[in-house]
Amino acid sequence: MGRKKKDTVVVNNNPDWVISDSVQINGRLVSEGTELSIRGESGRFRFKAHVVTPKAEWIDVIGGKKGYEKWRSFRLDKVKRVHRLQKTRKNLVSK
């Protein structure tokens, strides 16, 4: 069995990037932990951050199919629904 890779921490050294922990999507305020459905993707995703650069804008989320959760990034127009009820296991356990 190979060695486990060390976790790397990404630090934003670029002053042009704006990273925030909340954003308004489809008329609803989305903050960390809010669940979203993404067009074309299965499962629910938990919101982590909103990133704005001079060339692009996206959201960072964690989630996907049950048992296969990953860290992903999507454009704001890919958000299908902002869920009112929290149903992912991570959100249910942490409350």
The model's pLDDT over 28-46, given as tens digits with 9 standing for 90+, comes to 999 998 999 999 999 999 9
Average pLDDT over residues 17-27: 91
77: left (phi over 0), alpha (psi -120 to 50) or beta: alpha
pTM of the predicted model as reported, rounded to 2 decimal places: 0.75
Burial 8-34 (b: 16+ CB within 10 A, else e): eeeeeeeeeeeeeeebebeeeebeebb
How far is CA 41 from its chain centroid?
A: 13
Give pLDDT tens digits for 37-81: 999 999 999 999 999 999 999 999 999 888 888 999 999 999 999
CA distance 34 to 65: 16
Higher pLDDT, 71 or 5: 71
Q: Which two tokens stand for residue 30?
A: 């989305």
Higher pLDDT, 93 or 50: 50
